[in-house]
Structure 1
């Protein structure tokens, strides 16, 4: 064997070894699975009232003219400089936000939740609308959305008792202290999440969500975040910020 051939062989062996180690590392990190929400699921409250009545007639993103959409997106070209968020989902959220600004009380942040991504990923993206910077953290999805607890949400529902996450646009409401401590009420603005208030789908902290690459525990449909982050997240998003939850 020539020196050149030997060198090539050693380089290839080293490369394959690194690739194998990287693969094992990913596999090990994603096989850890956290326990689910062990509390009692909330009973549907058909009398629950929205805190955002002015949002009853929001302009839908698909009703905005193409030329107008282009102008809106150009205005927000500073948002998400590191491209953490899916381009199409971000565009929809920004167009919806801009088209309904007069009805959105807290314009400081917009949140995009990617329920199409595995729960090992930081997929709860909070956008600072002044700077465009994005803070991405982990979030739980509903037990009814992920029947085999593999970290992927494969179905969504707006029905009481489904234990599933709901897609669509939300406005945040006020805070309260419930069984999960400090929590943030949500009002669903879409036909796919209109029962969020009655189902008590809220943002709260949970011991079954961790800021690391593991399969997060499943909620009863709430976008639960790590307990260590709940106060910061809720204080940022309370009192009328826009949230867009989607899945590709």
Structure 2
């Protein structure tokens, strides 16, 4: 009896084999499925880096901010725009009273610096809420930058920045938006006015840290200024 049933069972199982194979091929070749798998892989990679960060006794950035920073970092790294595995992240969703700048060595996954940083005087008071790419706006610009060369200016050692996002921050060099130290960016000013002093659009940092930070990040590393602005996310081609 079993010899009569066995061929029917085999025929039944074989009838499903081509469909299974076709499904696998469809998954492998469907552009939407491939894109989804790439996105999942990138998200998993970023989460792994985030979870393995050596805080070095500093606070760590919020995951949402870090995720967008790393998306742009990998895109710029792949394009050859940046050369160093160093990323500077500035989170302008945070109060200027908080340490909202991080410099991270992605080779060792170690936070090297965590500092206060100023935003533009026309971007807001304690919080930055308005941003611009326009000349003489005195506002900060969001998005991704590549660090350039250093120079000695009115604030001493300073670092030129090249905005990488057209319409968002590409005027940075023309606007002289640079990283520099400033007395108004020193934490001591918080005691007298309740929030950090503001710049003309530059990410200004404490005088005591400027040499260390600038010398670490200069020369084609990635700098990202974050704010959960819907208009930025719509315009940017470097974050999802």
Q: TM-score, normalised by structure 1?
A: 0.68
Alignment of 1:1-248 (within 5 A): 65-74=38-47, 76=49, 77-79=51-53, 84-102=60-78, 103-134=80-111, 135-146=113-124, 149=125, 151-190=126-165, 191-211=167-187, 214=190, 215-248=195-228
Tell which structure's C-alpha radius of gyration is larger. 2
In 2, distance between residues paired with 1:74 and 1:114?
18
Residue in structure 1 matched with residue 18 of structure 2 by the alignment: none
Name whichever structure is richer in helix by fraction. 2
Cα contact 2:102–2:115 (8 A) shared by 1? yes
Contact 1:210 1:216 in 2 (8 A): yes
RMSD: 2.3
| 1-structure distance, mates of 2:62, 2:198 | 23
Larger RCO: Structure 1 or Structure 2 (Cα < 8 Å, ≥ 6 residues apart)? 1
Q: 1:47-82: per-residue Cα shift (whole Å, max 9, x none)? A: xxxxxxxxxxxxxxx999422323432552423657
5+ residue gaps, structure 2, are 1-34, 229-240
Partner of 1:27: none
Q: Is the Cα–Cα contact under 8 Å of residues 121 and 213 in structure 1 kept in the other structure?
A: no
- Over 3 Å counting, the alpha-carbon distance change for 1:184 and 1:145 in structure 2 is same
Separation (CA, whole Å) in 2 of partners of 1:159 and 1:175: 23
Counterparts of 2:74 and 2:115, CA distance in 1: 24
Normalising to structure 2: TM-score of the pair?
0.70
Checking the alignment, whether the CA contact within 8 Å between 2:82 and 2:222 is kept in structure 1 is no
Q: Separation in 2 of the partners of 1:183 and 1:216?
A: 19
Q: Is the 8 A contact 1:140 1:216 kept in 2?
A: yes
- 1:94 and 1:165 map into 2 onto residues whose CA distance is 21
Partner SS state of residue 198, structure 1? coil
